[in-house]
Amino acid sequence: MSINRRRLLQGLTLGALSAKLPFADPMYGEAQAASAQRPVSANDRIRVGVIGPGSRGQELIRQFLKVPDVEIATVCDVYPPRFAEVEELVGKKVPGVTDYRELIDRKDIDVIVIATPPVFHAAYSIAAMESGRPVYCEKTTGFTPEENRSVVDAVERTGQIYQVGHQNRYASWFHEAIERIWRGEIGEPTHLYGYYHRTDNWRRTVPDRRLEHLFNWRLYQESSGGLFEELGSHMIDVANWLFKVDQPLAVMGTTSIVLDHDGRTVGDNVQAILDYPRGRRMFFSSITDNAFVGNSYWIYGNHGTVQITDQDATFYGQHRKTVTAASHDNAVNPTLKVGATYATDTEMPYRGPGDRIHQRKGEIPTLTACRSFIECVRVKEQPFAGVTPGFGSGMTCAIGKTAVREARQIAIPQLHDV
């Protein structure tokens, strides 16, 4: 396998490779038909079955259809109007079933995509893998601690490919930012503050009151871990990646309903602190009535700061009074480095520019994630966002939603201890 292909499988995309490769990554180009060398089905097309083609499931379908030689073979949903929506999206009739076992029993499916509410993720993932199919499952890996462990066991037992829907791991600017942090550009990264602030209270209009829990499953504890699980899981995954651990050590938090007293049983805001080895911390905040800070990661190091958003990453340095000089040349022709220009060394909030890493054209992390999954299936490699990261965020959420609900600190079982 070429190093380029391997790096793609690891989630590194063209953007992250651009500094190392002369121009285009031939691996990334569709003209490269090397993947056809290891077909997973006789006609060399990968046939996808989708369980849960709601809003997120349909977005995944849209992205999978941008990957060459992929087709949507069957969808499964308990809400039949979804079938017509899928038909419009795909542009042709797609068989629809209402029982996931019926989809899994079909012989004309090569891989299974799961985008149901998370309470079903583990059961469906395990059934799919035991049927011999690779799985792309939206986050979180499991709803309970036991479920997260059981998905890890199923991957080990079946040897199947499993990818969790943490698409940030397929964003070039996340890769570049984290690699630069690892190279020491902001010193020692000590804190990650993750803000997921928005003006969306999650409530969906329900065509029939009997469908309230089906449409608004995110609002009820029995089917949702609330903001901590639905939004925080992505940020926890980035913290795990940044701090090079499988999961944090402990979590504490709190939640409340401040405005949306509409019968929901999960909070409309949440704050949590997660402990990482060597005293490092992640702080997570999500509110639903103000989007001033939006969805942003702030990674603080003792020599600088990085902000990462859905579209870019920006480095800010802090002045150091004494630095190592490479030579006397710097005295007459100083070489600009991060920290020299974008400095934040007063007690006023910094409002100046930074050193920005842009999103590359046409690069949607979810598309890259879907493309990488298909490549993993063809070459039989575990994905970069595989079951270990899935367990890391999933277990943290399974524990953390209890911690924030009960406003206490709870230790998080480690992957190799449970």
Of residues 204-263, those binding another protein (CB under 8 A): 205
**Counting beta carbons within 10 angstroms of the beta carbon of residue 88, is it exposed (0 to 12), middle (13 to 18) or buried (19 or more)?**
exposed
Q: How far is the CB of 199 from another protein (least distance, A)?
A: 5
Which of residues 33 and 325 has its CB atom nearest to another protein in the complex? 33
Figure out which of the listed residues 27, 67, 376, 404 binds another protein, where binding follows CB under 8 A: 67
| Between 67 and 403, CB nearer to another protein | 67
Q: How far is the CB of 162 from another protein (least distance, A)?
A: 25
Closest separation between CB of residue 35 and another protein, Å?
A: 13
Closest separation in Å from C-beta 354 to another protein:
18
Q: Kindly state the helix (H) or strand (E) to which residue 46 belongs, with its residue range.
A: strand 46-51
SS3 label, residue 356: strand
Of 23 and 333, which CB lies nearer to another protein in the complex structure? 23
Our CB check for another protein shows the closer of 311 and 330 to be 311
What letter represents residue 91's amino acid? G
Phi, psi of 407 (to 5 degrees): 50, 55
Closest CB to another protein among residues 359, 388: 359
Cβ distance 72 to 61 under 8 Å?
yes
- Give the CA count within 13 Å in the CB-facing half-sphere of 241: 27
Handedness of CA 9, 15, 16, 17 (dihedral sign): positive
Q: Using CB under 8 A, pick the residue from 37, 42, 80, 91 that binds another protein.
A: 91
The CA distance from 301 to 316, in Å, is 10
Cβ 23 to another protein, closest distance in Å? 9
Query: Which ranges of 106-144 does DSSP label H, i.e. alpha helix?
Result: 121-130
**Closest distance to another protein from the beta carbon of 212 (Å):** 16
Q: Which residue do the tokens 């953390």 mark?
A: 400
Nearer to another protein, 207 or 277 (CB): 207
For residue 344, whether the previous peptide bond is cis, meaning omega lies within 30 degrees of 0, is no
Tell me if 384 sits within 8 A of 170, measured CB to CB: yes
CA distance 87 to 91: 6
The binder of another protein chosen from 21, 34, 68, 402 (CB under 8 A): 68
- Work out how close the CB of 205 gets to another protein at its nearest, in angstroms, rounded to a whole number: 6
Shortest Å distance, C-beta 77 to another protein: 18
Whole-angstrom distance, CA of residue 24 vs CA of residue 291: 37
Q: How many residues bind another protein (CB under 8 A)?
A: 25
Among 249, 200, 207, 187, smallest CA distance to 227 is for 200
Q: What are the phi and psi torsion angles at 377 (to 5°)? A: -65, -40
User: Per-residue string for binding with another protein, 1-40, x by CB under 8 A?
Assistant: -----------------------x----xxx---------
Q: Which part of the chain contacts another protein (CB under 8 A), choosing from 61-69, 217-225, 323-331, 381-389?
A: 61-69
One-letter amino acid of 370: C
- Binding to another protein, residues 289-328 (CB under 8 A): 291, 311
DSSP 66-101: TSTTEEEEEEE-SSTHHHHHHHHHHTS---EESSHH
Binding region for another protein (CB under 8 A) out of 65-73, 226-234, 258-266, 394-402? 65-73
**For residues 29 and 159, which CB has a smaller minimum distance to another protein in the complex?**
29
Binding string, residues 328-367; x marks residues near another protein by CB under 8 A: ------------------------------xxxxxxx--x
Query: Residue 80 interacts with another protein (CB under 8 A)?
Result: no
* Residue 256 backbone dihedrals phi, psi, to 5 degrees: -160, 170
- Whose Cβ is closer to another protein: residue 107's or residue 209's? 209
Instruction: Kindly tell me which residue out of 62, 106, 281, 320 binds another protein, with binding defined by CB under 8 A.
Output: 62
Give me the residue label for tokens 């899981």: 233
Q: Cβ closer to another protein: 31 or 348?
A: 31
Query: Judged by CB under 8 A, which of 6, 21, 44, 66 binds another protein?
Result: 66
Q: List Cα–Cα distances, 301 to 182, 191, 225, 238, 318, in angstroms.
A: 11, 7, 30, 15, 9
List interacting residues with another protein (CB under 8 A). Answer: 24, 29-31, 62-63, 65-68, 89-91, 199, 205, 291, 311, 358-364, 367
